[in-house]
Amino acid sequence: MAPESDSSPLVLGIETSCDETGIALVRGHELLVDVTASSMDDHARFGGIVPEVASRAHLEAFGPTLAAATERAGVDLVDVDAVAVTAGPGLVGSLTVGVGAAKALALALGVPLYGVNHILGHVAVDMLVDGPFPEEFLALVVSGGHSSLLHVRDIATDVLELGQTLDDAGGEAFDKVGRLLGLPYPGGPHVDRLAQTGDREAFAFPRGLSRRKDLAEHAYDFSFSGLKTAVARVVEGYEDADEEVPAADVAASFSEAVADVLVTKTLAAATSRGVDTVVVGGGFSANSRLRELAAERFAAAGVSVRIPPIRYCTDNGAMIAALGSAVVAAGLPPSDLDITIDSGMPLTRVLAVA
Ligand code: KG4
Ligand code: ZN
């Protein structure tokens, strides 16, 4: 771990943007503890996140999760130097619980509050695993709600958005295909598992925004809704013919199309910008085919790729504490204690100010 870390401020990170209540403590680049409580089991039977249920679950889980984090780290709350919390993007009710709790803690402890961007947290968490970032790198963040390609020179102060999804996010497309294939919610991990037993070349599914005319305007943007429709047509075709759907082959060919587009576009951006490191983050970076294809193709192109272990890819407190730690280290002024949550927080905003 980073030798300078002992003198760095102790940052408490709080994540409540969706269904995970995450609390972590980070000092410099060192993760002291990361505790997560998930309400996913309460949502699964509804086939999607129920915002009201998620908010209530955060309220119930917050106290015990915080207590577990401090106890496991052997840290007293009074030792905390700064509180970082997800200010957005995310579900309004869920964000409100975390930001409210963070304000109360910052006020009670007399320490600064940093309301930070969830998506950039998915990038920052990699510092805890792979150490300080290089001078510049590309970040591919793919989750249930976002797919974005970023050029990062400083995670706290200099992030340029090169492209994003124009419709469904990668994880969202997986969840929808999971539903089409009759798999439990959230479909992403189930489709991934099934895909590992199928033929990736069984179906030639479309690669969104990859034709020459699309590339001119959307070189680094993504679109997965056409792909999802193509999958639906194939599934319907089998169902209409009363034939068994070759679910593993559909899943494998679909996964290949998503991973191929993500890796191809990221690699094109790295080459054209002369950047030799790519950081991959967000819940979807748990996807096995994306990990495989990224490792293969980036290595062949001489681009190094950093992807944190799966437990740090899905939502957690460590990512928020890591970004908070970077923001504190950059010397940015803290957020006002009366900040409001920003459910659509843009990627250009690292920190909620007021
Ligand atoms: O980042 P995350 O935990 O929450 C959001 O901020 O959205 O991402 C969750 C998303 C879900 O859509 C989930 O199905 C997807 O990531 N996901 C996966 C895999 N693991 C999680 N998608 C494909 N393959 C996986 N192995
Ligand atoms: Zn996320």
For residue range 108-152, list pLDDT tens digits in order: 999 999 999 999 999 999 999 999 999 999 999 998 888 999 999
Taking each helix axis from N to C terminus, what angle separates 225-240 and 170-180, rounded to the nearest 10 degrees? Answer: 10
End-to-end CA distance of the chain: 34
Who's near 293: CB < 8 A, 6+ residues apart?
A: 259, 260, 263
Q: 301 to each of 133, 212, 264, 305, 306, how far by Cα in Å?
A: 20, 22, 11, 11, 15
Distance 349 CA to ligand 2 centre (A): 16
pLDDT at 5: 47
Max Cα distance, the chain (Å): 67
Residue count of the chain: 354
Residue 310 CA: which ligand 1 atom is closest? 20
Residue 118 CA: which ligand 1 atom is closest? 6
Distance 272 CA to ligand 1 centre (A): 29
Torsions phi, psi for 6 (to 5 deg): -60, -35
Residue 192 CA: which ligand 1 atom is closest? 24
Residue 2 has pLDDT above 60, yes or no: no
Token match 């062949």: residue? 300
43/21 Cα distance (integer angstroms): 14
Please list the residues that pair with 140 across neighbouring strands. 149, 280
32/245 Cα distance (integer angstroms): 47
What tens digit of pLDDT does each residue of 230-254 get?
Answer: 999 999 999 999 999 999 999 999 9
Beta pairing class for 10-15 and 20-27: antiparallel
Distance 171 CA to ligand 1 centre (A): 5
Beta pairing class for 351-352 and 137-142: unpaired
Residue 171 CA: which ligand 1 atom is closest? 12
What tens digit of pLDDT does each residue of 260-286 get?
Answer: 999 999 999 999 999 999 999 999 999
Residue 142 CA: which ligand 1 atom is closest? 1
Q: Are 328 and 129 in contact (CB under 8 A)?
A: no
What tens digit of pLDDT does each residue of 306-350 get?
Answer: 999 999 999 999 999 999 999 999 999 999 999 999 999 998 899
Strands of the sheet with 147-154, listed across from one edge: 158-164, 147-154, 137-142, 277-281, 304-306
Mutate to test the pocket of ligand 1, among 15, 34, 40, 174 (most ligand atoms within 8 A of CB): 174
Residues of the chain with pLDDT > 90: what percent? 92
Half-sphere exposure of 255 (CA within 13 A, CB side): 31
- pLDDT bin (cut points 50, 70, 90) of residue 4 is very low
Q: Which residues line ligand 1 (CB under 6 A)?
A: 18, 143-145, 171-172, 174-175, 186-189, 192, 282-284, 286-287, 314-315
Mutate to test the pocket of ligand 1, among 143, 146, 312 (most ligand atoms within 8 A of CB): 143
pLDDT at 293: 98
Ligand minimally distant from the alpha carbon of residue 118: 2
- CA-nearest of 236, 228, 304 to 261 is 228
Residue 208's identity, in one-letter code, is: G
Domains and CATH numbers, the chain: 10-125+316-352 (3.30.420.40), 135-310 (3.30.420.40)
Protein residue whose Cα sits closest to atom 8 of ligand 1: 283
317/329 Cα distance (integer angstroms): 18
| Residue 163, helix vs strand vs coil | strand
Please spell the DSSP secondary structure of 216-238, one letter per residue.
HHHTT-B--HHHHHHHHHHHHHH
- CA-nearest of 121, 151, 152 to 313 is 121
87/60 Cα distance (integer angstroms): 20
Ligand minimally distant from the alpha carbon of residue 15: 2
Task: Let me know the angle formed at the C-alpha of 39 by 167 and 324, rounded to the nearest 5 degrees.
Answer: 70
287: left (phi over 0), alpha (psi -120 to 50) or beta: beta
What tens digit of pLDDT does each residue of 35-82 get?
Answer: 999 999 888 888 888 999 999 999 999 999 999 999 999 999 999 999
Distance 118 CA to ligand 2 centre (A): 6
pLDDT at 6: 65
Protein residue whose Cα sits closest to atom 22 of ligand 1: 188
Ligand minimally distant from the alpha carbon of residue 144: 1
